Amino acid sequence: MRALLLLAMLTAQLPTAQDPAAPPDGTSPPSALVQAAEAARAQQATRERIAALTREADVLKRQSSSVVDELRKLDVERDLQRARETQARDALVVLEGDLAALTARQSQLQATLDRERPAVAARLRRLQRLGRVGYARIAWNASSARDVGRAARLMNYLAKDDGRRLTAHAETARALTETETRLAARRQDARALAAEARVRRAAAEAAYARKQELLASLDAETGARERWLGELVAARARLDSSMTGRASAGSTSAILSVPFESRRRQLPWPVEGEVAGRFGRQRDARFGTSTVSNGITIAAVLGTPVRALHPGTVVFAGPFTGFGQLVIVDHGQQAYSLYGYLSVVRVQRGTSVNAGALVGEVGDAPDGSAGLYLEVRVDGRPVDPLQWLTRP
């Protein structure tokens, strides 16, 4: 029975087979996975933004050509390219989380192979020394029928156990090869996404450059400049007419527990920044003309979050010629706040918002500078927003 004991000892030297499909002991860095999850959530918002910008671009294509429309087309083109750049970068973050998990998986599989390889190699060398008869030598050393039965059971066990261990080792090697192949493919995807983001950024910068060229041409061409200013005045008149119609029809939201009228000098600023355009009749230093504005323009960094002044209901959210993306919030009792020049809208019509709720992000004013147009109406009439905002 010496051969029987020898083979039994050999089996004890082999490591326990592991499931190559099991998750790695040291998973990918938590920060990478958390960032990937956050990027995945952001992707849905980005897809919605791209869809909205695409719809606006289609509308602008069908409109009659005007300076305001041409400028807005370039704004939409830039915003669309930026949104697609963001989409590519969010996808890249998600992909990097996958890469981190695959890299950890690769390390775990490689460690398993390295740990099992010496014992498997030694086992194969010992089996080779047993010769072609292999496990049968156990039976040859049996001295009785009882020993033969035991030897047969041990032979069957050893054959199955060796087969299972060797099969598991081969499966680990196969899983490692597949992981390395997938890792290489995902890295290629990452390079493609990074390249796409660079292309989108270049396209957005090109659209911005074309807008600056168009604005520069307005400075040089008197006729085009006057036409543009006339279109801006007409856009303001359309907005005023729209708001007058809302006021005459009555406020749509319920009377609030804290009326808007009681919040004079208490409303928070929708965005941090300097006042670049004031309420009422103002002289345009660029063109040397005077125009009347029903609101103020707050200069701010492009993409800065814009927040609601006061609780209310969103009654308009979308593109409005001359004001980019526009959000109108009804605060009840014929009080409204309007947020224009937005690059993206973060609310939908009919949505109830609280004070400080995100309504959009700062976009470009018609003159090419980044800023927010803010208008406040009380009793349906425009008032100077600075009389209602907290003192800076």
Which residue pairs, CB below 8 angstroms and at least 24 apart, start in 282-290? 284/229, 286/219, 286/367, 287/219, 287/225, 287/229, 289/229
pTM comes to 0.59
What is the reported pLDDT for 128?
60
Cα–Cα distance for residue pair 72/56, rounded to 1 Å: 10
pLDDT score recorded for residue 6: 42
Mean pLDDT by 10 residues, the chain (392 residues): 42 45 48 67 75 72 69 81 80 76 75 72 62 50 52 54 67 75 78 81 83 78 73 82 70 56 85 91 65 89 93 91 90 91 91 93 87 92 91 74
What's the pLDDT at 296? 93
Residue 295: CB atoms within 10 Å? 26
Q: Is 132 exposed, middle or buried (0-12, 13-18, 19+ CB in 10 A)?
A: exposed
Strands 335-345 and 325-332: antiparallel
C-alpha separations of 251 from 139, 211, 312 in Å? 98, 38, 11
For residue 152, the model assigns a pLDDT of 53
| H or E segment and range at residue 280 | strand 280-284
pLDDT at residue 27 in the model: 47
pLDDT at 33: 61
